A and B are shown apart, each in its own frame.
Chain A
Amino acid sequence: MLTPPHPRARDPEPMLRLERISKRFERPGGLRVALDDVSLDLARGQLLGLFGPSGSGKTTLLRIAAGLRRPDSGAVTYNGERLDWMSAAERTRFRRREIACVWSSEPAQERLGVTDHVAMPLLVDRCGRRETDRRVREALLVCEAEQCVGMELRDLSDGERQRVAIARALVSEPRLLLADGPASNLSILEREAIMLLLAELARKARVAVLIAERDAEALVGADPIIYLRDGRLIDPESLGEAGRVYQFPPRGSERAAADA
């Protein structure tokens, strides 16, 4: 039953396993297949990049991995526990303890203070005022957003908003981070900085990180990078030459550079 672990994963046992996940939605025009028989493993310390056009099922996949939705069929196993078998209340408790999410539709125009926003996950833990403040500042510093202390969400630039969102995810010290488009709408350099931060998070904090982006280019440093299209995973190898682009590092360019 156990599939062989990804050869480059440092932890041989997957933390999160999605097995043969399918999900359909009812739409005015009839049933729409969001995910069709998708399986993937994510180990501790791994930074897995998922890309595909909009509507390919990325967000649905992340929502299922986060336990926010149940799949129609298939199994979601987290450290050996079946997430899809839990009751809604159990799942919520579990999620708060283990999982943090960054969604692409982070609040933008609110008059909410940045520190209050980042502190939100700690309210549930009934953290003391002082301790909360310390952890919020620490998370913002880690994410290079310490200058946002004292600002409101609507004052933030796109890049800062993403950094604040990641800080908010880290403040609860999760073991699994799911990020939907954390680097979209950003300049290439901002993107790289965010990916570098997430890569460090995966390697040093041993957090399992799953990132979904529309473009493979945004996924600098993710390994492996997988491609989702019309709710199905596409093997990069099957794309032939084009598939190489999605492997890290881009082997084609390396070779070209060595030949030059």
Chain B
Amino acid sequence: MSAKHALLGLLIHRPAYRYQLGERLQERLGPSWAINSGQLYQTVERMYEDGLIELVDGSREDRTERDVYAITASGVEEFDRWFEESTHDARQPRRPLLAKIALAGPDRLKEALRQIEAYERDCAASVNGLTQQRDAIPRAPVVGSRVRADQVFLRLSLSADVAHLEAELKWAKDAHEIVSWLLTEDAIWPPEYGRSGTSKQASERAHAREELFGRIAARSLKEVPGKRREDRDADSSPPPSAGS
């Protein structure tokens, strides 16, 4: 999977600076998700051009690390599309299922648990099947019998798969336990997941901020009268009594 969905998952709860995205990705998903700043830049650019994210602070002309991005409605749509499709291939180095769990947030955690359960079942079934296939082949030449060399190798390969899937299964059980716990224990979600997550509240908040901040900004402009300006100009020559 691309870094795109992971970044959308970070932005879905609250806006962030571009440089924060890279850090958070690793913080949340571990070193296999490390993304260099060039990649991050390109991905963010593409997402912006595709209308998945928008700039809420900063300017397009003068792009800096301080630009703040937020997810758009079509970004949320894209994230949900990805979230609900079932993709779990244990061999991908960047594990989509892990990303889904880490990015789920309170709203999507049930869906994440459903996918963990499905993955657990898949792994268990594969472990059984592969174990049977493996055990049908003798491990090493039995004294007095002959073993085909290629079958020994096949057995070796199968046992690697079994070992791998057993580890996956163990991980999935762990994930199952933790996510069930999160669902029942009324876990605390940090504000990064959007304390008041619904989009209605978010837009109310954005509106309130715009209004209050606009009022304060207007006040600043209005109340710097010409008289003060003259005072300041006068101050730029050494004031008579400031030398003390």
* Residues of chain A at the chain B interface (Cβ within 8 Å): 1-2, 13, 44, 75, 77, 79-81, 138-139, 141-142, 144, 146-147, 159, 170, 173-175, 187, 189-190, 192-193, 196, 199-201, 203-207, 220-221, 223, 248-249, 254, 257-258, 260
B19: contacting residue among A79, A146, A175, A249, CB under 8 A: A249
CA distance A223 to B17 in the complex (A): 14
In the complex, B114 has a CB within 8 A of chain A:
no
Q: Are A205 and B212 in contact (CB under 8 A)?
A: yes
A77 pairs with B235, CB closer than 8 A: yes
> What is the size, in residues, of chain B's interface with A at 8 Å between Cβ atoms?
47
Whether B22 sits at the interface, judged by CB under 8 Å, is yes
Total residue contacts A-B, CB cutoff 8 A: 112
- Given A1-B235, A203-B57, A260-B36, check contact A138 B212 (CB 8 Å): yes
The DSSP consensus for interface residues of chain B is: helix
Cα A254 to Cα B19 in complex, Å, equals: 9
A residues in contact with B22, CB < 8 Å = 257
> What residues on A are CB-neighbors of B220 within 8 Å?
44, 175, 205-207
Bitwise interface map of B from 183 to 203 toward A, beta carbon under 8 Å scored 1, else 0: 000000011100110000100
Measured between beta carbons, the chain A residues less than 8 angstroms from B231 are 80-81
Closest Cβ of chain A to B44, distance in Å, is 14
CB-nearest residue of chain A relative to B193?
A: A189
The answer to the question of B49 belonging to the interface, with a C-beta cut-off of 8 Å to chain A, is: no
Q: Is the CB of A192 within 8 A of B20?
A: yes
Given contacts A147-B196, A200-B68, A260-B34, 6 further A-B contacts (CB under 8 A): A2-B236, A80-B228, A81-B231, A204-B209, A204-B213, A207-B220
Among B65, B68, B204, B220, max chain A CB count under 10 A is at B220
